[in-house]
């Protein structure tokens, strides 16, 4: 009889231990950084629902062109926000890759949150978010830079909630002239 009791005790203890492991695993899956990928997916969904007109200005190597898209489709919007949607700071490979700096305005409750990469090879190297007093992101800036012996690439992304998007891309390939593309999009809500 004592033998059965010891087996039951071992089974109950192992069951309790396994339950505790599940809780710690769930805690480990919480985001270390603000969920930018989720934020931009939500912004994409909101823009698709509201369908604001887009006033787009493109400057490529000094040549300027403008156009207005009165009713953008989901493919155009997806393409426009693609550089923002690609950024997922909570990937396992980026765990602990950023230093976090928080600057708070004590009077208004607004904050600036900065993620600065600890290693220059980490992309993006810098993310700056402005957050209002209700904890909503109002502005996001990201800086990416990749460089090797043959290729150099810089991209600066700016997104201002419900107002504008700006993407400045510069690249240089060895033995070829540098190219710069500056895309500005104003969201014109009805």
Which residue range forms the structural domain that includes residue 9? Answer: 1-30
Residue 29's pLDDT is what? Answer: 46
* CB-based contacts of 145, cutoff 8 Å, min separation 6: 120, 123, 125, 153, 154, 155
Within this chain, do residues 69 and 115 fall inside the same structural domain, yes or no?
Answer: yes
What is the domain count for the chain?
2
Shared-domain flag, residues 83 and 149? yes
pLDDT digits (tens, 9 = 90+) for 21-55: 443 333 344 556 788 999 999 999 999 999 999 99
DSSP state of 160: E
Residue 39: which residues within 8 A CB-CB, separation 6 or more?
A: 137, 140
Asked if 131 and 58 sit in the same domain, the reply is yes
Residues 98 and 175 in one domain: yes
On whether both 39 and 18 belong to a single domain, the answer is no
Same domain, 13 and 75: no
Token match 């690609």: residue?
A: 86
Task: Using the predicted structure, report yes or no on whether residue 152 has a pLDDT greater than 80.
Answer: yes
Q: Is the same domain home to 112 and 176?
A: yes
97-122 residue pLDDT tens:
899 999 998 888 899 999 999 998 88
132 close to 138: Cβ distance less than 8 angstroms: yes
Q: What is the pLDDT of residues 66-99, one digit of tens each?
A: 999 998 888 999 999 999 999 988 888 888 889 9
Same domain for 39 and 9: no
pTM of the model: 0.78
- The pLDDT of residue 2 is 53
């Amino acid at each position: 009889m004592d033998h059965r009791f010891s087996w039951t005790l071992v089974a109950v203890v192992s069951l309790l231990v396994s339950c505790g492991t599940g809780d710690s695993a769930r805690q480990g899956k919480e985001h270390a950084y603000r969920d930018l990928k989720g934020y931009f997916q939500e912004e994409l969904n909101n823009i698709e629902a509201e369908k604001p007109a887009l006033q787009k200005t493109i400057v490529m190597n000094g040549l300027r062109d403008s156009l207005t898209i009165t009713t953008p489709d989901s493919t155009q919007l997806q393409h426009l926000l693609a550089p923002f949607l690609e950024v997922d700071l909570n990937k396992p490979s980026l765990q602990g890759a950023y230093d976090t700096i928080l600057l708070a305005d004590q009077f208004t409750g607004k904050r600036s949150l900065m993620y600065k990469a600890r290693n220059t090879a980490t992309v993006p190297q810098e993310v700056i978010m402005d957050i209002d007093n209700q904890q909503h992101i109002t502005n996001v800036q990201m800086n990416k830079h990749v460089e090797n012996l043959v290729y150099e690439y810089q991209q600066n992304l700016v997104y201002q909630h419900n107002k504008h998007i700006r993407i400045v891309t510069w690249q240089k390939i060895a033995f070829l002239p540098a190219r710069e593309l500056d895309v500005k999009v104003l969201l014109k809500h009805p």
